[in-house]
Structure 1
Amino acid sequence: MEFCDECGSMMKTEGDHWVCGSCGHEQARADAKTEQAQMVTTEGQEHSEVVDVTEAEERGLPTSTEHCPKCDNDRAYYYMQQIRAADESETRFFICTECEHKWREDDN
Structure 2
Amino acid sequence: MEFCDDCGSMMKTDDDVWVCGSCGAEKPRDADSEAAMTSTAEREDSEVVDMSDVDEAEIGPTTTVICPECGHDSARYEMKQIRSADESETRFLTCVECDHKWREDDH
What is the TM-score with the length of structure 2 in the denominator? 0.50
Cα deviation per residue 1:14-48 (whole Å; 9 max; x = unaligned)? xxxxxxxxxxxxxxxxxxx9x96xx7258xxxxxx
Q: Distance in 2 between matches of 1:77 and 1:60?
A: 8
Match of 2:17 in 1: none
1:90 aligns with 2:89: yes
CA contact (8 A) 1:53 1:100 kept: no
Match of 2:79 in 1: 80
Paired letter, 2:79: M
Match of 1:40 in 2: 43
5+ residue gaps, structure 2, are 1-34
Q: How large is the Cα RMSD of the aligned pairs? A: 3.5
2:87 counterpart SS class: coil
Larger radius of gyration: 2
Structure 1 ranges of 4+ moved more than 2 A:
39-42, 50-60
1:40 counterpart SS class: helix
5+ residue gaps, structure 1, are 1-32, 43-49
Cα deviation per residue 1:54-92 (whole Å; 9 max; x = unaligned)? 547254400011110000000100010011111101000
- Residue correspondences, number: 68
Q: Distance in 1 between matches of 2:96 and 2:49?
A: 12
Q: Percent identity?
A: 53
2:56 counterpart SS class: helix
What is the TM-score with the length of structure 1 in the denominator? 0.50
Q: Distance in 2 between matches of 1:81 and 1:51?
A: 19
Q: Distance in 1 between matches of 2:55 and 2:88?
A: 24
